[in-house]
Protein backbone atom coordinates (compact mmCIF):
# COMPACT_ATOMS: atom_id res chain seq x y z
CA UNK A 1 0.00 0.00 0.00
CA UNK A 2 1.45 3.35 -1.03
CA UNK A 3 1.93 6.33 1.27
CA UNK A 4 -0.42 8.29 -1.00
CA UNK A 5 -3.24 5.82 -0.39
CA UNK A 6 -2.74 6.01 3.38
CA UNK A 7 -2.81 9.82 3.30
CA UNK A 8 -6.00 9.79 1.22
CA UNK A 9 -7.60 7.33 3.67
CA UNK A 10 -6.88 9.70 6.56
CA UNK A 11 -8.37 12.64 4.65
CA UNK A 12 -11.38 10.51 3.69
CA UNK A 13 -12.09 9.52 7.30
CA UNK A 14 -11.89 13.15 8.47
CA UNK A 15 -14.07 14.39 5.62
CA UNK A 16 -16.72 11.74 6.28
CA UNK A 17 -16.86 12.74 9.94
CA UNK A 18 -17.09 16.42 8.95
CA UNK A 19 -19.95 15.83 6.50
CA UNK A 20 -21.85 13.86 9.11
CA UNK A 21 -21.31 16.59 11.71
CA UNK A 22 -22.29 19.34 9.26
CA UNK A 23 -25.63 17.63 8.76
CA UNK A 24 -26.33 18.65 12.35
CA UNK A 25 -26.88 16.86 15.61
CA UNK A 26 -29.79 14.43 15.35
CA UNK A 27 -32.33 13.08 17.75
CA UNK A 28 -31.89 9.57 19.03
CA UNK A 29 -32.94 7.46 16.02
CA UNK A 30 -35.90 5.09 16.38
CA UNK A 31 -34.64 1.78 17.68
CA UNK A 32 -35.86 -0.11 14.63
CA UNK A 33 -33.89 2.22 12.32
CA UNK A 34 -30.79 1.88 14.49
CA UNK A 35 -31.11 -1.90 14.54
CA UNK A 36 -31.53 -1.86 10.75
CA UNK A 37 -28.17 -0.10 10.48
CA UNK A 38 -26.64 -2.65 12.86
CA UNK A 39 -28.06 -5.49 10.77
CA UNK A 40 -26.73 -3.94 7.55
CA UNK A 41 -23.27 -3.44 9.00
CA UNK A 42 -23.18 -6.95 10.46
CA UNK A 43 -24.35 -8.50 7.20
CA UNK A 44 -21.65 -6.69 5.24
CA UNK A 45 -19.01 -7.89 7.74
CA UNK A 46 -20.19 -11.51 7.39
CA UNK A 47 -20.21 -11.33 3.59
CA UNK A 48 -16.70 -9.88 3.49
CA UNK A 49 -15.46 -12.60 5.84
CA UNK A 50 -17.03 -15.38 3.76
CA UNK A 51 -16.21 -14.21 0.23
CA UNK A 52 -13.09 -15.62 -1.41
CA UNK A 53 -12.45 -17.98 1.47
CA UNK A 54 -11.89 -15.21 4.01
CA UNK A 55 -8.74 -14.00 2.29
CA UNK A 56 -9.73 -10.42 3.09
CA UNK A 57 -8.38 -11.07 6.60
CA UNK A 58 -4.94 -11.26 4.96
CA UNK A 59 -5.66 -8.14 2.89
CA UNK A 60 -6.13 -10.28 -0.23
CA UNK A 61 -9.05 -10.58 -2.61
CA UNK A 62 -9.48 -12.04 -6.08
CA UNK A 63 -12.00 -13.29 -8.62
CA UNK A 64 -12.22 -16.66 -10.35
CA UNK A 65 -10.26 -19.83 -9.68
CA UNK A 66 -7.45 -21.84 -11.20
CA UNK A 67 -5.83 -20.47 -14.34
CA UNK A 68 -8.51 -17.79 -14.69
CA UNK A 69 -8.05 -16.38 -11.18
CA UNK A 70 -6.96 -12.77 -10.92
CA UNK A 71 -5.76 -11.09 -7.73
CA UNK A 72 -7.12 -7.60 -7.03
CA UNK A 73 -4.84 -5.86 -4.50
CA UNK A 74 -6.55 -2.49 -4.93
CA UNK A 75 -9.98 -3.93 -4.22
CA UNK A 76 -8.55 -5.90 -1.29
CA UNK A 77 -7.32 -2.67 0.34
CA UNK A 78 -10.65 -0.87 -0.02
CA UNK A 79 -12.72 -3.88 1.08
CA UNK A 80 -10.41 -4.50 4.04
CA UNK A 81 -10.93 -0.93 5.21
CA UNK A 82 -14.69 -1.34 4.67
CA UNK A 83 -14.58 -4.46 6.86
CA UNK A 84 -12.80 -2.63 9.69
CA UNK A 85 -15.07 0.43 9.53
CA UNK A 86 -18.28 -1.63 9.32
CA UNK A 87 -17.26 -3.96 12.13
CA UNK A 88 -16.31 -1.11 14.46
CA UNK A 89 -19.44 0.87 13.57
CA UNK A 90 -21.69 -2.13 14.13
CA UNK A 91 -20.15 -2.85 17.53
CA UNK A 92 -20.39 0.77 18.70
CA UNK A 93 -24.00 1.13 17.55
CA UNK A 94 -25.03 -2.21 19.09
CA UNK A 95 -23.32 -1.25 22.37
CA UNK A 96 -25.33 1.99 22.46
CA UNK A 97 -28.61 0.19 21.77
CA UNK A 98 -27.98 -2.54 24.33
CA UNK A 99 -26.85 -0.11 27.03
CA UNK A 100 -29.88 2.18 27.17
CA UNK A 101 -32.04 4.51 25.18
CA UNK A 102 -31.73 8.22 25.68
CA UNK A 103 -29.65 11.14 24.46
CA UNK A 104 -27.14 10.41 21.69
CA UNK A 105 -24.05 8.86 23.24
CA UNK A 106 -20.51 9.01 21.94
CA UNK A 107 -20.79 5.33 21.01
CA UNK A 108 -23.86 6.01 18.86
CA UNK A 109 -22.30 9.00 17.12
CA UNK A 110 -19.04 7.17 16.47
CA UNK A 111 -20.89 4.07 15.30
CA UNK A 112 -22.99 6.14 12.93
CA UNK A 113 -19.94 7.80 11.39
CA UNK A 114 -18.10 4.51 11.00
CA UNK A 115 -21.11 2.87 9.35
CA UNK A 116 -21.34 5.77 6.88
CA UNK A 117 -17.65 5.33 6.11
CA UNK A 118 -18.08 1.55 5.80
CA UNK A 119 -20.95 1.97 3.36
CA UNK A 120 -18.94 4.36 1.19
CA UNK A 121 -15.85 2.15 1.18
CA UNK A 122 -17.96 -0.94 0.47
CA UNK A 123 -19.58 0.70 -2.55
CA UNK A 124 -16.17 1.88 -3.74
CA UNK A 125 -14.79 -1.65 -3.27
CA UNK A 126 -17.50 -3.16 -5.48
CA UNK A 127 -16.70 -0.65 -8.20
CA UNK A 128 -12.94 -1.16 -7.95
CA UNK A 129 -13.29 -4.96 -8.01
CA UNK A 130 -15.57 -4.87 -11.05
CA UNK A 131 -13.38 -2.42 -12.98
CA UNK A 132 -10.12 -4.20 -12.17
CA UNK A 133 -11.60 -7.62 -13.00
CA UNK A 134 -12.98 -6.38 -16.32
CA UNK A 135 -9.69 -4.79 -17.34
CA UNK A 136 -7.55 -7.80 -16.38
CA UNK A 137 -9.61 -10.93 -17.06
CA UNK A 138 -13.22 -10.88 -18.18
CA UNK A 139 -13.60 -14.61 -17.53
CA UNK A 140 -12.52 -14.16 -13.92
CA UNK A 141 -15.06 -11.36 -13.57
CA UNK A 142 -17.79 -13.63 -14.93
CA UNK A 143 -16.77 -16.39 -12.52
CA UNK A 144 -16.88 -13.99 -9.59
CA UNK A 145 -20.13 -12.30 -10.59
CA UNK A 146 -22.09 -14.05 -7.84
CA UNK A 147 -19.60 -12.87 -5.21
CA UNK A 148 -19.81 -9.30 -6.44
CA UNK A 149 -23.62 -9.52 -6.48
CA UNK A 150 -23.66 -10.70 -2.85
CA UNK A 151 -21.26 -7.93 -1.91
CA UNK A 152 -23.38 -5.32 -3.69
CA UNK A 153 -26.48 -6.61 -1.87
CA UNK A 154 -24.73 -6.33 1.49
CA UNK A 155 -23.58 -2.78 0.71
CA UNK A 156 -27.11 -1.89 -0.39
CA UNK A 157 -28.58 -3.13 2.90
CA UNK A 158 -26.07 -1.07 4.86
CA UNK A 159 -26.79 2.03 2.77
CA UNK A 160 -30.52 1.51 3.37
CA UNK A 161 -29.96 1.15 7.11
CA UNK A 162 -27.76 4.24 7.29
CA UNK A 163 -30.33 6.21 5.25
CA UNK A 164 -33.06 5.29 7.72
CA UNK A 165 -30.74 6.16 10.59
CA UNK A 166 -30.25 9.67 9.23
CA UNK A 167 -33.83 10.19 8.14
CA UNK A 168 -35.13 12.47 10.94
CA UNK A 169 -32.95 15.49 11.67
CA UNK A 170 -33.75 17.88 14.45
CA UNK A 171 -32.53 21.42 14.93
CA UNK A 172 -29.98 21.62 17.74
CA UNK A 173 -30.05 24.68 19.92
CA UNK A 174 -27.66 26.97 21.67
CA UNK A 175 -24.22 25.77 22.64
CA UNK A 176 -24.88 22.28 21.21
CA UNK A 177 -25.37 23.69 17.72
CA UNK A 178 -22.33 25.95 18.02
CA UNK A 179 -20.20 23.06 19.30
CA UNK A 180 -21.28 20.79 16.45
CA UNK A 181 -20.53 23.50 13.90
CA UNK A 182 -17.09 24.17 15.37
CA UNK A 183 -16.20 20.47 15.37
CA UNK A 184 -17.33 20.14 11.76
CA UNK A 185 -15.18 23.09 10.68
CA UNK A 186 -12.12 21.72 12.50
CA UNK A 187 -12.50 18.25 10.99
CA UNK A 188 -13.06 19.69 7.52
CA UNK A 189 -9.92 21.81 7.80
CA UNK A 190 -7.93 18.79 8.97
CA UNK A 191 -9.31 16.78 6.04
CA UNK A 192 -8.28 19.51 3.59
CA UNK A 193 -4.80 19.64 5.13
CA UNK A 194 -4.51 15.84 4.88
CA UNK A 195 -5.60 16.02 1.24
CA UNK A 196 -2.90 18.60 0.50
CA UNK A 197 -0.35 16.35 2.19
CA UNK A 198 -1.60 13.43 0.09
CA UNK A 199 -1.14 15.49 -3.06
CA UNK A 200 2.43 16.31 -2.08
CA UNK A 201 3.13 12.65 -1.30
CA UNK A 202 1.62 11.58 -4.62
CA UNK A 203 3.86 14.01 -6.46
CA UNK A 204 6.91 12.73 -4.59
CA UNK A 205 6.05 9.10 -5.28
CA UNK A 206 5.48 9.88 -8.95
CA UNK A 207 8.89 11.55 -9.19
CA UNK A 208 10.55 8.64 -7.42
CA UNK A 209 8.88 5.90 -9.46
CA UNK A 210 8.28 7.49 -12.86
CA UNK A 211 10.65 10.45 -12.93
CA UNK A 212 7.83 13.00 -13.04
CA UNK A 213 5.40 14.43 -10.53
CA UNK A 214 2.77 14.92 -13.29
CA UNK A 215 1.17 11.48 -12.90
CA UNK A 216 -2.52 10.56 -13.11
CA UNK A 217 -2.59 9.73 -9.40
CA UNK A 218 -1.03 13.06 -8.43
CA UNK A 219 -3.50 14.94 -10.62
CA UNK A 220 -6.46 13.07 -9.10
CA UNK A 221 -5.34 13.68 -5.52
CA UNK A 222 -4.51 17.34 -6.26
CA UNK A 223 -8.02 17.81 -7.68
CA UNK A 224 -9.50 16.38 -4.49
CA UNK A 225 -7.29 18.71 -2.44
CA UNK A 226 -8.59 21.71 -4.41
CA UNK A 227 -12.14 20.59 -3.62
CA UNK A 228 -11.10 20.49 0.04
CA UNK A 229 -9.81 24.07 -0.11
CA UNK A 230 -13.12 25.11 -1.65
CA UNK A 231 -15.07 23.24 1.02
CA UNK A 232 -13.49 25.11 3.93
CA UNK A 233 -14.46 28.54 2.59
CA UNK A 234 -17.16 30.25 4.72
CA UNK A 235 -19.71 30.62 1.92
CA UNK A 236 -23.10 29.11 1.04
CA UNK A 237 -23.78 25.44 0.23
CA UNK A 238 -21.25 24.25 2.79
CA UNK A 239 -22.67 20.73 3.10
CA UNK A 240 -22.82 20.32 -0.69
CA UNK A 241 -19.20 21.45 -1.09
CA UNK A 242 -18.08 19.12 1.70
CA UNK A 243 -19.96 16.22 0.10
CA UNK A 244 -18.30 16.98 -3.25
CA UNK A 245 -14.92 16.96 -1.48
CA UNK A 246 -15.79 13.55 -0.02
CA UNK A 247 -16.64 12.18 -3.47
CA UNK A 248 -13.37 13.58 -4.80
CA UNK A 249 -11.43 11.74 -2.08
CA UNK A 250 -13.24 8.49 -2.89
CA UNK A 251 -12.24 8.90 -6.53
CA UNK A 252 -8.65 9.70 -5.54
CA UNK A 253 -8.49 6.60 -3.33
CA UNK A 254 -9.71 4.46 -6.23
CA UNK A 255 -6.90 5.89 -8.38
CA UNK A 256 -4.26 5.55 -5.64
CA UNK A 257 -4.89 1.85 -5.05
Read out DSSP for 97-156?
HHH--SSPPHHHHHHHHHHHHHHHHHHHHHHHHHHHHHHH-HHHHHHTHHHHHHHHHHHH
Q: What is the pLDDT of residue 88?
A: 92
Alpha-carbon gap, residue 143 to 127, rounded angstroms: 16
How much is the pLDDT for 23?
57
The CA angle 245-203-206, to the nearest 5 degrees, is 125
CB atoms within 10 A of CB 178: 11
Comparing CA positions, the residue from 203, 167, 191 lying closest to residue 247 is 191
Question: How many C-beta atoms lie closer than 10 Å to residue 6's C-beta?
Answer: 14
Q: How far is CA 183 from the centre of its chain?
A: 20
- Extents of the domains making up the chain: 1-25+177-257, 29-169
pLDDT of residue 85: 92
**What is the full per-residue pLDDT of the chain (257 aa) written as tens digits?**
566 777 777 777 777 777 766 654 444 456 667 788 888 898 899 889 888 888 888 888 888 777 778 888 888 888 899 999 999 999 988 888 787 555 556 778 888 888 988 888 888 888 888 887 777 777 777 777 778 888 888 888 888 888 877 765 544 444 444 555 677 778 888 888 888 888 888 888 877 877 777 777 888 888 888 888 888 877 776 777 787 787 777 777 766 66
- Would you say 164 and 36 are in contact if contact means Cβ atoms under 8 Å apart? yes
Report field, pTM of the whole predicted structure over 0.95: no
pLDDT for the residue 244? 79
pLDDT score for 255: 67
Of 20, 125, 12, nearest to 74 by C-alpha is 125
Amino acid sequence: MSFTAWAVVVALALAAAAVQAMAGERSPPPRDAAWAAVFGGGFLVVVLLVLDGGRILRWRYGLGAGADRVELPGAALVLGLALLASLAGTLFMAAHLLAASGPPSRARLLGQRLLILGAGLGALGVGVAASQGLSRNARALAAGASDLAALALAVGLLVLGVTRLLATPVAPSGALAEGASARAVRMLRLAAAAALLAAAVAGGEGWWREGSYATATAAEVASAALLGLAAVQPTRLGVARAALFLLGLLSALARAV
